[in-house]
Amino acid sequence: MGPKPGVLMLKMMMPYLRDSLESKFTLYPLWEQSDKEGYLAQNAQSIRGLVTWTGSTVDAELLNKLPKLEIVSAFSVGVDKVDLRKCKERGIAVTNTPDVLTDDCADLAIALLLSSMRQVCAADRYVRKGCWPKLGQYPLTYKMSGKRLGIVGLGRIGMAVAKRAEAFSCKISYFARSEKSGVPYKFYDTVLELANNSDMLVLTCALTKETTHIVGRKVLDALGPEGFLVNIARGPVVDEQELVKALIEGRLGGAGLDVFEKEPQVPQELWNMDNVVLLPHVGSGTWDTRRAMADLAVSNLEAHFAGKPLLTPCN
Amino acid sequence: MVKPGVLMQRCLPDFQALLEPKYRVFPLWEQSDKEAYLAENAESIRGLIASAAMWVDAALIDKLPKLEIVSKTGVGVDRVDLHKCKERGIAVTNTPDVGTDDCADMAIGLLLATMRNICAADRLVRKGLWPKLENYPTFAHKMSGKHLGIVGLGRIGLAVAKRAEAFGCKISYLARAEKSGLPYKFYATVLELAKNSDMLVLTCALTKETTHLVGREVLDALGPEGFLVNVARGAVVDEQELVKALVEERIAGAGLDVFENEPQVPQELWNMENVVLLPHMACHTRNTVKGILELVVSNLDAHFSGKPLLTPYLDD
């Protein structure tokens, strides 16, 4: 039994993950080092694995400093910050953590729908400011049950949102690249038509060239002054400037947003609105899911070093 | 033909507009001397609109010798002296069903808002703190797939169960008696229910039996990773014990739409990140309030035209 394989961890993502890595591998904690360059140079020959996340970049420059690197294990589902081409060139395996976060993201979409339509956060503020005894009943809000829900993108997360919304007797329709057979929901081939026929729009699609700014002024106007938008996809799916205008001018009923075009910047015009809910990209941020992601990231490394098939390779 | 006289305890302008064509409305809230007003008009008052949170006690009923019907807005009749009404042969109607969906929606909304730190995270963003943090400082609790215990499995409890099933929750419940034909596990005590649940949602009526049903023992059984949501009545929970449990972190969090002494909300809760506090609004949507008022009027119409009541709680 030889020494435990060396694994470089770029940042302190989660103590549970760090502890797990430390128990199974020789851990090289990069964030603890004052001289990171020196540290990498010193330990380059021993580092065979690397753990990254959405907050770090694994580019050619870094890869060049790690001649013995065999596997990059991403603690995330997105690998847009990993130079996949360079990894392929070097024969470096790349794994991520899909599926484990589907439920959390779908839960969050429903949470944002309910919180914005029923003004949960605004009413909570009302109570904490002592308004209830002084001003009486909170104003009436919008019912969610029974309304028409349009889902943009019907992947795993979109389907999970639909399943939940069905239990609220919502009438579900969707937009996707193409109609999906065997699905009991109405398909629309443009987001505009979808918005014309929906009381709420939930965005769950991937960010691509086609989906960038797919929700703009026309779509927002189609949703209308009693319509609600929820975005758990990516900020740039929505034309944020138009969204802010629509909300300021009362052309849109309200919005629940977990993502923004220029995170962590959130348009200040929204900070005082009662009909919006603003979250700092918490999509999959629960103990259960982050632990599951950590377990998966570690399992991929273990499988690799044991010569077994990777669990969730993405290249 | 004299329009029947109906006493209104609270100002509801849309409602008054619905009533006035058919009824003579006696607006109690407008009177500086309510006692004298009642004495003066007692002979003319045949109906009473019982608004949310207003008491229709024996004292009031005694002042209204010609009262035939009490028509309550909302579903809860815990503030109507039913015993006295029965004695006097006064019919009581409420408005079940209309608010069921909204209330169940709000129960799920409160579960999610509390477990996923929605209001806390929203506050953080509005204070401009997101750019200063690399990560949101704490993880939240997943709701999907967890064990949900429902206290009271009436219309609202069933509606909550239906929604929670779609989140993959495992549902169990407490009710006065086991209900046949349901795919949910029955527990005969709330303590057993709490021991076996990650979240407890209260949807029961407030009665003698359910007063302070959730006390220290139940909260401890729910435990430091457990969540409580109350859309029933404040008094179902021993509020002092709940505050202590939250202050001492013996439960993970609570989403509350109702309190023991509304509109007073314990100030110890005002700064907590793991609670959500709402001003009794679970079924206050435009759709539902309209439906409630229409049903109240329909019940009055039925009574005064000798037809069967639509939604009697107590028949006359």
Measured at the CA of B286, the angle between CA B283 and CA B290, to 5 degrees, comes to 90
pLDDT reported for residue A257 = 98
- Asked if A277 and A121 count as a contact pair (C-beta separation under 8 A), the reply is yes
The answer to whether the Cβ–Cβ distance between B112 and A110 falls below 8 Å is yes
Over pLDDT 70: what percentage of chain A?
A: 99
The answer to whether the Cβ–Cβ distance between A120 and B118 falls below 8 Å is yes
pLDDT reported for residue B227 = 98
pLDDT reported for residue A166 = 98
Cβ-Cβ contacts under 8 Å, B114 against chain A: none
pLDDT reported for residue A1 = 55
Distance CA B275, CA B261 (A): 18
Q: Is B186 helix (H, G, I), strand (E, B) or coil?
A: strand
Interface test with A, best of B29, B103, B105 (most A CBs within 10 A): B105
Kind and range of the H or E run holding A305: helix A287-305
Whether the pLDDT of residue A119 is over 80: the answer is: yes
Interface test with A, best of B97, B106, B112 (most A CBs within 10 A): B112
To the nearest 10°, report the CA torsion of B53, B54, B59, B65: -130
Q: Is A74 helix (H, G, I), strand (E, B) or coil?
A: strand
Express each pLDDT in A23-70 by its tens digit.
999 999 999 999 999 999 999 999 999 999 877 899 999 999 999 999
Closest chain A residue to the Cα of B133, Cα to Cα: A264
Using the Cβ of B134 and the Cβ atoms of chain A, whether some distance falls under 8 Å is answered with: yes
Single out the residue of A129, A175, A173 nearest to residue A147, CA to CA: A173
Q: What is the mean pLDDT of chain A?
A: 95
Distance CA A187, CA A181 (A): 10
Using the Cβ of B131 and the Cβ atoms of chain A, whether some distance falls under 8 Å is answered with: yes
Intervals of chain B under pLDDT 70: 134-137, 315-316
The contacts of residue B195 (CB under 8 Å, 6+ apart) are: B221
Express each pLDDT in A83-95 by its tens digit.
999 999 999 999 9
Q: How many cross-chain Cβ pairs, A to B, lie less than 8 Å apart? A: 172
The answer to whether the Cβ–Cβ distance between B144 and A106 falls below 8 Å is yes
pLDDT reported for residue B213 = 98
Distance CA A141, CA A130 (A): 20
Kind and range of the H or E run holding A22: helix A15-24
Q: Residue B256 forms beta bridges with which residues?
A: B230, B277
| Cβ neighbours around B5 below 10 Å, total | 20
Mean per-residue pLDDT, A202-230: 95
Distance CA B296, CA B231 (A): 22
Cβ-Cβ contacts under 8 Å, A265 against chain B: 131
Burial letters for A146-180: b for 16+ Cβ neighbours within 10 Å, e otherwise? ebbbbbbbbebbbbbbbebbbbbebbbbbbbeeee
Cβ-Cβ contacts under 8 Å, B123 against chain A: 121
Closest chain A residue to the Cα of B127, Cα to Cα: A271
Express each pLDDT in A220-237 by its tens digit.
999 999 999 999 998 999
Using the Cβ of B13 and the Cβ atoms of chain A, whether some distance falls under 8 Å is answered with: no
Cβ-Cβ contacts under 8 Å, B143 against chain A: 107
Single out the residue of B268, B290, B110 nearest to residue B202, CA to CA: B110
Q: How far is A300 from chain B (nearest CA, A)?
A: 23
Closest chain A residue to the Cα of B139, Cα to Cα: A286
The answer to whether the Cβ–Cβ distance between B144 and A120 falls below 8 Å is no
Q: Is B236 helix (H, G, I), strand (E, B) or coil?
A: helix
- Asked if B269 and B120 count as a contact pair (C-beta separation under 8 A), the reply is no
Distance CA B122, CA B114 (A): 12
The answer to whether the Cβ–Cβ distance between A279 and B125 falls below 8 Å is yes
Distance CA A71, CA A132 (A): 57
Catalytic residues of A: 234, 263, 281
- Asked if B51 and B10 count as a contact pair (C-beta separation under 8 A), the reply is yes
For B148, phi then psi, to 5°, come to -105, 125
Closest chain A residue to the Cα of B107, Cα to Cα: A114
Cβ-Cβ contacts under 8 Å, A285 against chain B: 136, 139-140
The tokens describing B158, both together, are: 């069933």
The answer to whether the Cβ–Cβ distance between A280 and B133 falls below 8 Å is yes
Cβ-Cβ contacts under 8 Å, B145 against chain A: 103
| Cβ neighbours around A187 below 10 Å, total | 16
pLDDT reported for residue A54 = 77
For A186, phi then psi, to 5°, come to -80, 135
Closest chain B residue to the Cα of A292, Cα to Cα: B142
Distance CA A40, CA B273 (A): 41
pTM of the model: 0.90
The answer to whether the Cβ–Cβ distance between B265 and A132 falls below 8 Å is yes
